[in-house]
Chain A
Amino acid sequence: MVKSWKLVAVSAAGALALTACAASDRDADGGASDAASGGRDTFIFAASSDPAGLDPAFANDGESFRVARQIFEGLVGTEPGTADPAPLLAESWDVSDDGLEYTFHLKEDVKFHDGTDFDGEAVCFNFDRWNNFTGILQSESLSYYWQKVNGGFATSDVETLNGTGKYDSCEAPDAATAVVHLKSPLPELVSALSLPSFSMQSPTALEEYDADNVTGEGDAPILPEYANAHPTGTGPYTFDSWSPGEEVVLVANEDYWGDQGQIKRIVFPVISDPTARRQALQAGDIDGYDLVGPADVQALADEGFQIVNREPFNILYLAMNQANPDLADLKVRQAIAHAINKEALVAQTLPEGTEVATNFVPPSVSGWNADVTTYDYDPDLAKSLLAEAGKSNLTIDFNYPTNVSRPYMPTPEQVFTAIKADLEAVGITVNPVPDPWNPEYLDKMQGTSDHGIHLLGWTGDYNDTYNFIGVFFGGPSNEWGFDNPAIFQAINDARYVADIDEQKAAYEAANAELLEFLPGIPLAHPVPSLAFKDDVKGYPASPVQDEVYNVITLGD
């Protein structure tokens, strides 16, 4: 659910701001601090950065989503512990045979935090809002997901986005029904609606607080009052305060339609340094944190902290840029694949339970193919392949990011070091090229062809093959440096096959073709871990981080 390579943009950015003026007002929530010290109904979860904003329609990073999950709900949720869609604000839905009409049957008696009703009109208001974003609202740093899933907006200055979307219209025949009409099939729609970006927001509040009045530039948008202080959804928690650089505070929604649960107050303190997060847990300052380093797992468990693992829903890969003439040679790419001892790599550098990858999608995604070509560890074969290619004295640039930890890549320096040693063992000279993650590394990998082999990965947003391989290989790109229209075509055709079984077969074929062509090497599906105090019970770990805290219990 994280648009992975945007996340650290914000996490680095949020580093340690502190504000003299935007202080939280103690009088506003009465004895909250007393409650915090007395009973255990406050849950403190360290965030790695500030949310980019509180309006999830304009968010695409993990920290914004983490907060949004508590305040907002979408039509569709996920089955606990999986990435599969499940009813949420829509109790059920029907899809017409031609795949163009989606009828959502809504949960009744649900109210937004501002007291207005959640109904069919509200659903249509949200869909129409997304589709009618204009100007800066269409920039990728804001409405990324609507743009990627829908494929365009009602109107746009950008040719490729102007009226190119699948969405046509929405109608609300009665309060408990919303019907969405598409121009052409979009089989991933229901899965995609589980993203926080497609949360249901109060039309009244959106209008009152000027939600669409974003100013500034695409790279540094200035968000309106709504996204700073008035997010209004239907979820179990309502917004209390946000002190940028310090913390976001949420309090229980007393009128929640579902089970309110034990936790009445959530605090997300911003602690950007991973070591600092761990030590804050050890010192008892926080109840839990995300992205636990693999090295810390055992030590924390030994000290009596709980380690909770998410089902891995990601991929870590080694990309081989074919703009580099050496790497354009398939034999060289195969040699590199055979040179790497993936089993040892996983055992030495990645969290326990991590699986070696064979596809560019994790096994729980329907298009995963068990029969793709695999490249076993075989240094001798690697050497002879290099000799055959006439590249026995190969020198390549190896790009890797520094000072960063991603769910799919918790320890880039270690993975780099292990692969470098493997490559040197078969006679390849490796030229290390480290770069700070953001913006240098991502810009260089995705915006230029000035790189050799490099480490990168992706965490899936929802259960859909296109959300992985479409992102990587949907068309020519600087990252991979090849132009293979057959592969691009296969992947894009598969996306719009309306029949689920046919689509699965098409994706499996595309995955097989990819591993034959070998644009990169899928390395592993690292297990992301969270750590908690021992009395935090029932944390709803989710592969796509659909984790809402009203189900958690604290204390004995």
Chain B
Amino acid sequence: MPRLILRRLALLVPTLLGLSVLLFLWVRALPGGPATALLGERATPEAVARLNELYGFDKPLVQQYVTWLGQLLQGNFGVSTRTGRPVLEEFTNRFPATIELTVVALIIAIGIAIPLGYVAARRQGRPLDHLTVVASLIGVTIPVFFLAFLLKWAFAVNLGWFPSTGRQDPTMVATHPTGFYVLDGILTREFDASWDALMHLVLPAIALGTIPLAIIARITRSSVIEVQDADYVRTARAKGLGADRLRRRVILRNAMLPVATTIGLQVGLLLSGAVLTETVFAFPGIGSFLANAVFDLDYAVLQGFILIIAVVYALVNLFVDVSYGVIDPRTRATR
């Protein structure tokens, strides 16, 4: 297993290098050229000169790239033109919020989708199954920002069950040792703060989790159907394996592999969806910050965030791949 992880990590390097080349070229393709794009149009000549010195925009392209990569490796992702703060700092400040949101969204999605998909498969062709299929279709096609919007309007504004925006009640005074608010409240024994943070997470997490929920439910359903009709299941049944053990040992375990793949694939979807969901709920994570960067054409932030997100995305996918080995020993040999 450790060798597998190392090999996969090694494979990650060329991907990230390639991506960095693309992003490097991207900034050069932006209207106004790299200095204007990274500093904004109001940049003083001195600031432009300093940036040129730092990145060597007047040098040959290859040399520029190497210089820039060197800066990246030292953690220098540039400075946001909107806030004047380092891009890396902006990212690390907001990332816990987005992690918290996506994790809760994923928990909701998996927690509902797998039982739902399983039950639907076991009752294939009955009303509940049809309902699941139709609902998951609608779940996949509803635009996430529209759904976020409906949820907020119905449950926050009209019914007032949940807060409409942010991560924490503005009147709440709480300490945040980790930046994960729900966890912070538990660590510091400020349980009211934890509860409050959790309530702020409910609506955005549902909005964000709906599409993954629909997808995972569909895959679970079809995967279970496939497995329960498979020869080895019939064989097992014929050999007299009990219903409970059959369900647990054979069907669920074998059906989970494509489901795990699917869950891994949801990470990209969640990060895309976070941009829109966080914007609607004014949730202070990386998504809403990115959306604002888009509005204000803050290219330094776009470049840095996309690169960091790609790294995170790749690492998560690596984790998912490795976890197959745990679920299904057969894949170990082939990878």
Contacts and interface: CB of A to CB of B under 8 A. Distances in A.
Interface stretch (A55-63, A112-120, A437-445): A437-445
Interface stretch (B260-268, B288-296, B317-325): B288-296
A279 interface: yes
Contacts, number: 151
Given A219-B47, A276-B164, A16 B288 contact: yes
A25 B40 CA distance: 36
B167 A18 contact: yes
B93 A271 contact: no
B175 interface: yes
A218 to B, nearest CB: 6
Contact of A220 (B79, B167, B174, B179): B79
Given A219-B42, A276-B282, A438-B296, A19 B190 contact: no
Nearest to A139: B44
Nearest to A25: B175
B14 interface: no
A18 B285 CA distance: 8
Interface stretch (B4-12, B21-29, B155-163): B155-163
Given A273-B282, A276-B282, A283-B160, A247 B170 contact: yes
A221 B47 CA distance: 12
**Interface SS, B side:** loop
A279 B152 contact: yes
B169 A285 contact: yes
A269 B96 contact: no
Given A17-B94, A285-B163, A42 B296 contact: no
A36 B171 contact: yes
Contacts of B47: 217, 219
Interface stretch (A26-34, A392-400, A425-433): A26-34
Contacts of B168: 246
A271 B165 contact: yes
A13 B83 CA distance: 5
A447 interface: yes
B165 A20 contact: no
B288 A271 contact: no
Interface of A: 12-20, 23-26, 29, 32-33, 36-37, 42, 44, 46, 216-221, 245-247, 249, 267, 269, 271-273, 276, 279-280, 282-286, 403, 436, 438-440, 443, 447
Interface of B: 40-44, 46-47, 79-84, 90, 92-94, 96-97, 152, 156-157, 160, 163-179, 190, 279, 281-285, 288-289, 292, 295-297
25 contacts: A12-B82, A16-B283, A16-B284, A19-B179, A20-B93, A23-B174, A23-B176, A32-B173, A33-B173, A36-B171, A42-B171, A44-B170, A219-B43, A220-B79, A220-B84, A272-B282, A272-B292, A273-B279, A276-B166, A279-B156, A279-B165, A282-B160, A283-B156, A283-B163, A439-B296
